[in-house]
């Protein structure tokens, strides 16, 4: 490498503009920390004339990100366009084939095409760095790959979508319904253009798939994630959970078992005194558990111009220092195609149901649960009208299979006045 690392930046949205600002404002600091000047040769975006609040006249403009990725005056291609396919993937592949390293914030592309891209990068002797793809400004990728390299990772767990955490937190604090807070978050610009990426858990699941690959030496397997969003979490569930000492979070959990790689992204209850339970607003948190280090907790801003651009620049600085290494922490060809497994790990469950208000209904529910092998730990019944009765049950540890069997059997009892809600209670 020459004395200057020359960047080509594709994508000039919030994060791209943040990267340009850091390079301009911290030029001396970056050079002192890496031993190289870091400059921008050229940029690309959908619109050249859009007002972004910064001047881009010092940089060459490319309409085509693939052309940008292959320019002779670009050493490092920075992909900030997003999207699992299309221009982002085409330009990333072109950059690698042209002998360029790549820094990206594109979680969807890596979750879907990570294995193929890793094999291409390593065959070309190039690097793909992606700290900004997971949990914004939290350095979780570097922590897993470097800080915990001597650990067998036992479990990865976390709140990885700030928009969902904002919605659930606001529901609890305001007493408003999911629909009301969803509209509020959308109006504030907190949700993706396709809100299902957020509230459906897809964005967070992309991140979990990437972390799982690094943590367990497995090929990225987004399709193997048991996925459920937050749409069916009601204000009644929020209140009931709080009354029993829990908070509801969209929680990602991954662990390797004898059955295979267990990955789930779903609403769970966590103790309100736990670090995850105390996480409010749009903040992210990732919990890593290693055999030697035990449990460590990483908390910080999961999105936004500054935090995400900071993560991008961490990768840029590593490339400037000559730090590369395998894309997922070990050679791509050594990553195992882990069998996808549904979690069989027992856990307590929260059950909310509305029952017909007549004698004997609780006995019928208790019988159904007992026949399915589900034991009741505690139960509460709240004030109700003459026709139906809301009932909350917390079970002893049981399996998802047994819970599903019990709920299916409840349909035949004739005592349900509405569909039951079942949420796992995660030990943290």
pLDDT along the chain (428 residues), means of 10: 89 96 97 97 94 93 97 98 95 98 98 98 97 95 97 97 95 95 91 92 97 97 96 93 94 92 96 95 95 96 92 98 95 92 85 88 92 93 76 94 94 89 92
Q: CA 185 from chain center: how many Å? A: 18
* Assigned CATH for 349-425: 3.30.70.260
| Contacts of 275-279 spanning 24+ positions with Cβ under 8 A | 275/299, 275/428, 276/157, 276/158, 276/159, 276/247, 276/249, 276/251, 276/428, 277/246, 277/247, 277/249, 277/428, 279/159, 279/165, 279/249
Give me the half-sphere count of Cα atoms (radius 13 Å) on the Cβ side of residue 140. Answer: 34
Q: Please report the pLDDT score of residue 345 as a whole number.
A: 80
Instruction: Confirm whether 207 is a catalytic residue.
Output: yes
Expressed in percent and rounded to 5, the helix, strand and coil fractions of the chain are 35, 25, 35
Q: Checking phi first, is residue 373 left (phi over 0); if not, alpha (psi -120 to 50) or beta?
A: left
Q: Which residues pair with 206 in a beta bridge?
A: none
Backbone torsions φ then ψ of 269, nearest 5 degrees: -95, 140
Q: Please report the pLDDT score of residue 2 as a whole number.
A: 67
| Residue 123 host element (H or E) | helix 107-123
Q: Please report the pLDDT score of residue 357 as a whole number.
A: 83
Q: Please report the pLDDT score of residue 384 as a whole number.
A: 65
Nearest to 32 by CA among 319, 309, 306, 320: 320
CB 163 within 8 A of CB 191: yes
Q: Please report the pLDDT score of residue 386 as a whole number.
A: 66
How far is residue 402's CA from residue 391's CA, in Å, rounded to a whole number? 19
Q: CA angle, 135 as apex, 168 and 344 as ends, to 5°?
A: 70
CB 129 within 8 A of CB 145: no
How far is residue 164's CA from residue 207's CA, in Å, rounded to a whole number? 14
Q: CA angle, 307 as apex, 306 and 311 as ends, to 5°?
A: 115
In three-state secondary structure terms, 363 is helix
Q: Please report the pLDDT score of residue 316 as a whole number.
A: 98
Q: How many residues does the chain have?
A: 428
In three-state secondary structure terms, 22 is helix
* Assigned CATH for 152-302: 3.30.360.10
The domain locations on the chain are: 152-302, 349-425
In three-state secondary structure terms, 240 is helix
Neighbours of 77 (CB within 10 A): 27
How far is residue 107's CA from residue 210's CA, in Å, rounded to a whole number? 8
Nearest to 104 by CA among 370, 276, 390, 121: 121
Q: CA angle, 374 as apex, 370 and 375 as ends, to 5°?
A: 85
CB 114 within 8 A of CB 141: no
Residues 277, 283, 284, 285: is their CA dihedral positive or negative?
negative
DSSP label of 398: B
CB 312 within 8 A of CB 105: yes
Q: Which residues pair with 233 in a beta bridge?
A: none
Nearest to 336 by CA among 158, 203, 253, 215: 215
Q: Checking DSSP bridges between strand 349-356 and strand 128-129, what pairing results, if any?
A: unpaired
Could you say which of 89, 100, 107, 207 is catalytic?
207
* Residue appearing with tokens 């982002």: 88
DSSP label of 340: B
How far is residue 424's CA from residue 398's CA, in Å, rounded to a whole number? 10
């Amino acid at each position: 490498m020459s004395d200057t690392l020359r960047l080509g930046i594709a994508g000039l949205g919030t994060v791209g503009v943040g990267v340009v600002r850091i390079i301009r404002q911290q030029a001396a600091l970056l050079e002192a920390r890496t031993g190289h000047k870091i400059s921008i040769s050229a940029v690309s975006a959908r619109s050249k004339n859009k007002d972004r609040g910064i001047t881009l006249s010092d940089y060459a403009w490319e309409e085509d990100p693939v052309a940008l990725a292959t320019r002779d005056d670009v050493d490092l291609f920075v992909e900030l366009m997003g999207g699992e396919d299309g221009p982002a993937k085409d330009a990333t592949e072109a950059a690698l084939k042209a002998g360029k390293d790549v820094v990206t914030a594109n979680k969807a592309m890596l979750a879907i095409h990570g294995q193929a891209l890793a094999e291409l990068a390593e065959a070309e002797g190039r690097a793909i760095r992606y700290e900004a793809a997971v949990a914004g400004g939290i350095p979780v990728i570097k922590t897993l790959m470097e800080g915990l390299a001597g650990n067998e990772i036992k479990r990865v767990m976390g709140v990885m979508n700030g928009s969902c955490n904002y919605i659930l937190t606001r529901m609890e604090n305001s007493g408003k319904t999911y629909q009301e807070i969803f509209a509020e978050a959308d109006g504030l610009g907190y949700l993706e253009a396709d809100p299902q990426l957020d509230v459906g858990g897809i964005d967070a699941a992309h991140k979990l798939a990437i972390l799982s690959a690094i943590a367990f030496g497995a090929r990225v397997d987004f399709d193997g994630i048991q996925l459920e969003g937050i749409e069916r979490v009601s204000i009644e569930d929020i209140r009931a959970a709080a009354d029993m000492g829990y908070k509801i979070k969209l929680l990602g959990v991954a662990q390797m078992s004898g059955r295979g790689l267990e990955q789930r992204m779903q609403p769970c209850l966590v103790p309100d005194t736990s670090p995850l339970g105390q996480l409010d607003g749009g903040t992210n948190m990732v919990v890593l558990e290693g055999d030697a280090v035990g449990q460590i907790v990483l908390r910080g801003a999961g999105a936004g111009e500054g935090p995400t651009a900071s993560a991008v620049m961490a990768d840029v600085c590593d490339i400037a220092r000559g730090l590369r290494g395998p894309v997922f922490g070990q050679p791509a060809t050594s990553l195992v195609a882990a069998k996808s497994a549904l979690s069989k790990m027992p856990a307590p469950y929260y059950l909310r149901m509305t029952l017909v208000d007549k004698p004997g209904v609780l006995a019928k529910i208790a019988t159904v649960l007992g026949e399915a092998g589900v034991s009741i730990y505690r139960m509460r019944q709240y004030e109700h009208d003459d026709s139906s009765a809301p009932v909350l049950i917390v079970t002893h540890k049981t399996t998802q299979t047994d819970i599903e069997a019990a709920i299916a059997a409840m349909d035949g009892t004739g005592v349900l006045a509405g569909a039951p809600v079942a949420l796992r209670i995660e030990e943290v």
